[in-house]
Amino acid sequence: MRRRKILFIATALTLMQTDSPAQSRDYARSMTISQGGIVATSQTLASQAGAMILARGGSAVDAAIAANLVLGVVEPMMCGIGGDLFVIHRDARTGKLTGLNASGPAPRGLSLETLAKAGINGVPSSGIHTVTVPGAVRGFAEIHRRFGKLPWKDLFQPAIYFAENGFPVTELIQWDWDASRSKLMGDANATAVFLKDGQAPRVGEIFRNPRLAAAYRSLAAEGPDSFYRGALAQAILKTSRRLGGFLSAEDLASFEVEWVQPVSVDYRGWKVSQLPPNGQGIGTLEMLNIMENFPLNQMMPYSADALHVKIEAQKLAYQDQRRYIADPRVSAVPTAGLLSKAYAKERARSIDYKKADCDPVPGNPPRESGNTIYLAAIDRDGNIVSWIQSISDIFGSGVVVDGYGFHLHDRAAAFSSDPNHPNVLKPGKRPYHTIIPGFLQKDARHIGFGIMRGMNQPQAQAQFVSYVVDHNMNIQQALEAPRFSKISLGGCDVRMERRVPATVRDELEKRGHWISDVGDFSGLMGGGQAVSLDSSTGVKYGASSPRKDGAAIPEPENYFQPAVTPKKSRGK
């Protein structure tokens, strides 16, 4: 007995001393790993709905549409059919990446001049004059036509169910909801739908939105024509006219999505892809190009040197993206120049290892002719979607469509009021866009990823890529890793999660950074999702950031199908 006890103690001590993953890992969740598909979103009911669509034989696109529609019910302040959509799709058979830009233009009647005649100086930040043509519904329909497998109407069933029967409100979503009461009370429709006696629903309270269910039923039956020509279009136009807006029937009926080729850079042997402007994805790529000039892969991930380089690279890239990104159909955007390795090297030379630059300025790239939800889904066949959809600010423009329970977005607020800026407001022009899907791949590894929250997105994505590439983290670890976020242009202010060691924050402040501590897993850093495929084995991986209420949920297997009786072998 005594010998067995000694052996037990010795074994326990050995296990305690072993540097095992269970003992040493610095992130909370494990990846979701499956042979089937996976859907990762910012709310578990939406992830579950997408996984069920996969189980019914749906594609990654089918699952993403269904999950997005559910998010419009359960996370209404961040997304919905009144907003825009961007997607990167990877085809498992060909390996080809396809980009979808479903962002809508300003109304033909909206300009700085018509705003001035209405007594409005410059571009407003909310209200009906910030509403551009919502592109998401047309985007859903076109990408479903190309890559969908299940009937269109089936994709609406989970969302209609939750809109009619209700769902319990989750924690972080409730916080955003409650913090937006004053905005909701500024619109009678919003007050009626989203507040009860002037209050947001509590955590765990059952919330229903039958008006949104009616909108979804109309779309399920009539397709996108309901939104751009039919019943929903008429309701949108009626709402706009009532509030003095400029949207016209022609603006809605003439809208078409744009299929685009993703733009890419090589980062230490990995191919990183984003969509081209009018989105800010090239900011991620320029930031990575600048970072590549420093030996980050030889530094500790949360060291002062590594964080200093990334913060300074962010400042330079953001000066450029704010100066040059606009709608390339209207303004000349030096995309190739911004993504040039030589230009990045030139920008990197301005970074001082020991001193923060509090007054960065845009560069001169060579010119050549020629709030938000993010979800990721992968199906059993290995098709991947990196998918981001938004109504822009929290609860969008603040305007809810008459009779239908959804907000219109406020993307026009991203236009510039400077008549000499490439992103100046003009009729029929698409604004600078913050929402960006990302894709990362090398050899057999293919990763669809994205991180939310406005100007946070490019810098958060670059940090994610660096954690995967430079520091060999898995996708869950990289999503959870502590981050910084700088959302102002100029200055040395930067937000940083408290999990970054105090000694590191102190050293950064000695170099001139003004560090503002935020929570360990702060929503200000943006929630994110990722899915990954190992094409050599067919195994899929999913990850979801703890900064949101979501999860990566695998496609359920058909456990209860009739057992297959093995055939009797012939011969011996």
pLDDT tens-digit readout, 447-500? 999 999 888 999 999 999 999 999 999 999 999 999 999 989 989 999 999 999
Quote the strand ranges of 32-159, DSSP E: 32-34, 38-41, 84-90, 97-102
User: Edge-to-edge, what's the strand order for the sheet holding 539-544?
Assistant: 32-34, 539-544, 528-534, 445-451, 438-442, 270-274, 263-267
Phi, psi of 200 (to 5 degrees): -75, 155
- What's residue 26's pLDDT? 85
Q: Does residue 499 contact residue 474 with C-beta atoms inside 8 Å? A: no
- pLDDT, tens only, 114-173: 999 999 999 999 999 999 999 999 999 999 999 999 999 999 999 999 999 999 999 999
Report how far Cα 264 is from the mean position of its chain's Cα atoms. Answer: 18
Q: If we measure between CA atoms, which residue out of 358, 280, 289, 357 comes closest to residue 324?
A: 280
The CATH superfamily of 264-369+435-554 is: Gamma-glutamyltranspeptidase, small (S) subunit (3.60.20.40)
Active-site residue, selected from the candidate residues 130, 284, 372, 434: 372
Round to whole Å and give the CA distance between 430 and 291: 30
CA 13-15-21 angle, 5° bins:
145
The pTM score is 0.94
Confidence of residue 565 (pLDDT cuts 50, 70, 90): low
Round to whole Å and give the CA distance between 406 and 194: 10
- Give 66's contacts (C-beta < 8 A, 6+ positions apart): 49, 50, 52, 53, 58, 155, 156, 157, 158, 159
Q: Does residue 180 contact residue 137 with C-beta atoms inside 8 Å? A: no
Q: Does residue 278 contact residue 430 with C-beta atoms inside 8 Å? A: yes
Q: Does residue 450 contact residue 274 with C-beta atoms inside 8 Å? A: no
Q: Does residue 387 contact residue 62 with C-beta atoms inside 8 Å? A: no
- Give 218's contacts (C-beta < 8 A, 6+ positions apart): 226, 230, 231, 232
Round to whole Å and give the CA distance between 129 and 554: 42
Round to whole Å and give the CA distance between 293 and 102: 34
- What's residue 371's pLDDT? 67
Residue type, 532: S
Determine how β-strand 38-41 pairs with β-strand 372-378: antiparallel
Quick check: is 372 catalytic? Answer: yes
Q: Which residues pair with 389 in a beta bridge?
A: 85, 373
Round to whole Å and give the CA distance between 514 and 484: 12
- What's residue 25's pLDDT? 82
- Give 92's contacts (C-beta < 8 A, 6+ positions apart): 381, 382, 383, 384, 533, 535
Q: For the chain, which residues make up each domain, given as ranges? A: 38-259+372-414, 264-369+435-554
Least-confidence region, from 111-115, 232-236, 487-491: 487-491
- What's residue 22's pLDDT? 60
Q: Does residue 430 contact residue 103 with C-beta atoms inside 8 Å? A: yes
